[in-house]
Chain A
Amino acid sequence: MQGPLIEILARQGITRRTFMKYCATLASLMALPPSAGRAMAEAMAAAGVATKRPSVIWLPFQECTGCTESITRSHSPTLENLIFDVVSLDYQETLMAAAGHQAEEALHNAMKAGGYLLIVDGSIPLGLDGAYSCIAGRSNLELLKEAASGAAAIVAMGSCAAFGGLPHAKPNPTGAVSVSDVVKDKPIVNLPGCPPIPVVITGVLAHFLTFGSLPELDKHGRPKAFYGETIHDRCYRRPFYDQGKFAKTFDDEGARNGWCLFELGCKGPVTYNACATVKWNGGTSWPVESGHGCLGCSEPDFWDAGGFYKALSTPANPLKMASAAVAAGAVAGVAVSFANRGKKRAAASAHETTTLADLEK
């Protein structure tokens, strides 16, 4: 896409006003001051006309392309895509026209220049020397290390790149790890979610384009602006939780009345994400609104969190070792009993009868 950004947008039917509104929305979503919206608009407009647009390399590893789907099928594709129009997306296997050697050449040209933003989706397998996932005959680990060395910053897109995700789930056959497990010397922002919310992706990119830095992060490397509060704390069903009104099944009266889904396994209380406020599909709805509890997809190890349909307060499987424990206890009890009886017998046989003669000694 060539020419000033505003002209490009106008050709796509987007007015300047809509663009400004979008930037202001991004800024307010990220809890930035109002002036940041204007700065973002200016930065993106400038990037759009610059001779050299900011370079972005997007590496896919052990992933399902759901994160790419999320961004490309976002509610206002033109606006979300605009972020990608102002950058030079030099390598994205799913979206790029090039293939084979051409694609690899594009990647190497971009890497040679350095200072690019590296987006990674998917986890990195370490098992079998990384043989579980290779691109152009090279392991993901090797590719990531090479690409990370010249990157200005890394965006770990989706739960797999951020925390290992589904490939990392027990028993983790491929030895999958997250980007931050491999790369230690670069600024990394984690955008977990399965997939992450489109506006979270574009918000972080806009922040990087505008300020040249990553937004403020929490202890898991997630932008606080989007992952600062739990789903539960911002859930519109929260009043029912506080009143103790819970749906017991997916089709009972409580479910029809929109009561809290806690007892059906909702992970909202321990999940930090923006679904409850930003929603999905252009603000149409989100999982809890459609009647299903939160899976906790933006939290580490959510696949192994004791079952999607078990309430957070109920145990996962506490009687797992019960029979073995009872058997071991019984064996220990019987063994100790025999030992005790042996001691008693030994004491009895060692006992000497006291005679009158003894007392007169």
Chain B
Amino acid sequence: MNELQFLTWVRGTGLNVAVGVFLLGVFWRLIEIYGLGRKKDLSAPRHVAGASGWHTIFRRSIPAQGMLKKSPVGYIGGFAFHIGLAIVVLLFAPHIKLIQSLTGLSWPGLPSQFIDLVAVVTLAAMVVVLADRINKPVKRFLSTFEDWFTWAVTFLPLLTGWLSVRHLLLPYPTMLALHILSVEILLIVLPFTKLFHAFTVFGSRWYNGAVNGHKGVAV
């Protein structure tokens, strides 16, 4: 298989399969989760449950009192790489072009140099949170294969994307093909691992907040 065949495969068959598995997995998991249903509510709510749910969505993004000092790497690193990923994925001009070609939707991007800086910061933040996970005995003890694996499949698209934009290490088409391949792995893995929090994080926060509010622990 040469460069052209590899690239053709990843942007053809490979991507078709990855997008297919991704969509299948997302619909499956979402329907399964929301299909679980809830027990019949027999008690009178202690508070208006909904407001507590909405509040929790927001409040859980803010470190609890004293926690920022206790675990600065977790919070700052975590914020840095989540926001960085969002910027790189959604505001890099070639990515917007891709979304436009698929859906017709487009929005203004950020200058490539800025995206480059964000990508480097994001990569660094991810390396730091990984080092933190390895160094802190408790975090390491709590980590399973899934944690290391999901870190890797998130890190690789970012790294290969940055390398291909900067034309480093391998010829551009090969690196681009590796970038697309790594995104395909991410797409396939996402619905079936903890990475699915991309879809469920706010829903589950709302649910927890609402249930707590219902029970009288309004926040």
Q: Which residues of A contact B (CB under 8 A)?
A: 219-220, 230, 244, 267, 269-271, 296, 299-302, 304-306, 312-322, 324-326, 328-330, 332-334, 336-337, 340-341
Which partner residue on chain A sits nearest B26 by CB separation? Answer: A329
By the criterion CB–CB under 8 Å, are A315 and B173 in contact?
Answer: no
Q: Does B4 contact A (CB under 8 A)?
A: yes
By the criterion CB–CB under 8 Å, are B8 and A304 in contact?
Answer: yes
Question: Given A316-B12, A329-B24, A333-B29, is A301 in contact with B5 using a C-beta cutoff of 8 Å?
Answer: yes
**Nearest Cβ distance between residue B183 and chain A, in whole angstroms?**
10
Interface CB pairs A-B, < 8 A, 24: A244-B112, A270-B2, A270-B173, A296-B4, A299-B5, A302-B4, A314-B97, A315-B180, A316-B8, A318-B15, A321-B19, A322-B19, A322-B20, A325-B20, A325-B21, A328-B24, A329-B26, A329-B27, A333-B27, A333-B35, A336-B28, A337-B31, A337-B35, A340-B32
Q: Does B45 contact A (CB under 8 A)?
A: no
By the criterion CB–CB under 8 Å, are A330 and B31 in contact?
Answer: yes
Chain A residues contacting B217 (CB-CB under 8 Å) are none
What is the count of residue pairs linking A and B with beta-carbon distances less than 8 angstroms?
122
Chain A residues contacting B146 (CB-CB under 8 Å) are none
Which partner residue on chain B sits nearest A330 by CB separation? Answer: B27
Contacting residue for A269 out of B25, B101, B173, CB 8 A? B173
Given contacts A317-B12, A321-B17, 18 further A-B contacts (CB under 8 A): A269-B171, A270-B3, A300-B5, A304-B8, A305-B7, A313-B98, A315-B15, A315-B180, A316-B12, A316-B16, A318-B16, A318-B19, A321-B19, A328-B24, A329-B24, A329-B31, A337-B32, A341-B35
- A-B pairs with lowest CB-CB distance, top 8: A333-B31, A329-B27, A337-B35, A329-B24, A321-B20, A325-B20, A325-B23, A270-B4
By the criterion CB–CB under 8 Å, are B101 and A314 in contact?
Answer: yes
Q: Does B125 contact A (CB under 8 A)?
A: no
Question: Given A314-B11, A325-B19, is A332 in contact with B98 using a C-beta cutoff of 8 Å?
Answer: no
Give complex CA distance A101, B19 in Å: 58
Give complex CA distance A318, B172 in Å: 21
Chain B residues contacting A317 (CB-CB under 8 Å) are 12, 16
By the criterion CB–CB under 8 Å, are A305 and B4 in contact?
Answer: yes
By the criterion CB–CB under 8 Å, are B36 and A340 in contact?
Answer: yes
Contacting residue for A329 out of B7, B11, B25, B101, CB 8 A? B25
Give complex CA distance A138, B42 in Å: 86
Q: Which residues of B contact A (CB under 8 A)?
A: 2-5, 7-8, 11-12, 15-17, 19-32, 35-37, 94, 97-98, 101-102, 112, 171-173, 176, 180
By the criterion CB–CB under 8 Å, are B4 and A319 in contact?
Answer: no
Give complex CA distance A340, B31 in Å: 12
Chain B residues contacting A220 (CB-CB under 8 Å) are 2
Question: Given A304-B8, A314-B11, A340-B32, is A269 in contact with B37 using a C-beta cutoff of 8 Å?
Answer: no
Chain A residues contacting B20 (CB-CB under 8 Å) are 320-322, 324-325
Chain B residues contacting A314 (CB-CB under 8 Å) are 11, 97-98, 101
Give complex CA distance A315, B14 in Å: 10
Which partner residue on chain A sits nearest B172 by CB separation? Answer: A269
Which partner residue on chain A sits nearest B94 by CB separation? Answer: A313
Contacting residue for A306 out of B8, B24, B101, B102, CB 8 A? B8
Chain B residues contacting A318 (CB-CB under 8 Å) are 11, 15-16, 19, 102
**Nearest Cβ distance between residue B175 and chain A, in whole angstroms?**
11
**Nearest Cβ distance between residue B210 and chain A, in whole angstroms?**
21
**Nearest Cβ distance between residue A94 and chain B, in whole angstroms?**
30
By the criterion CB–CB under 8 Å, are B35 and A334 in contact?
Answer: yes
**Nearest Cβ distance between residue A237 and chain B, in whole angstroms?**
15
Which partner residue on chain B sits nearest A323 by CB separation? Answer: B23
**Nearest Cβ distance between residue A266 and chain B, in whole angstroms?**
12
Give complex CA distance A230, B23 in Å: 37
Give complex CA distance A328, B25 in Å: 9
Give complex CA distance A230, B5 in Å: 15
Chain B residues contacting A267 (CB-CB under 8 Å) are 4
Which partner residue on chain A sits nearest B27 by CB separation? Answer: A329
Question: Given A270-B7, A296-B4, A315-B11, is A334 in contact with B31 using a C-beta cutoff of 8 Å?
Answer: yes
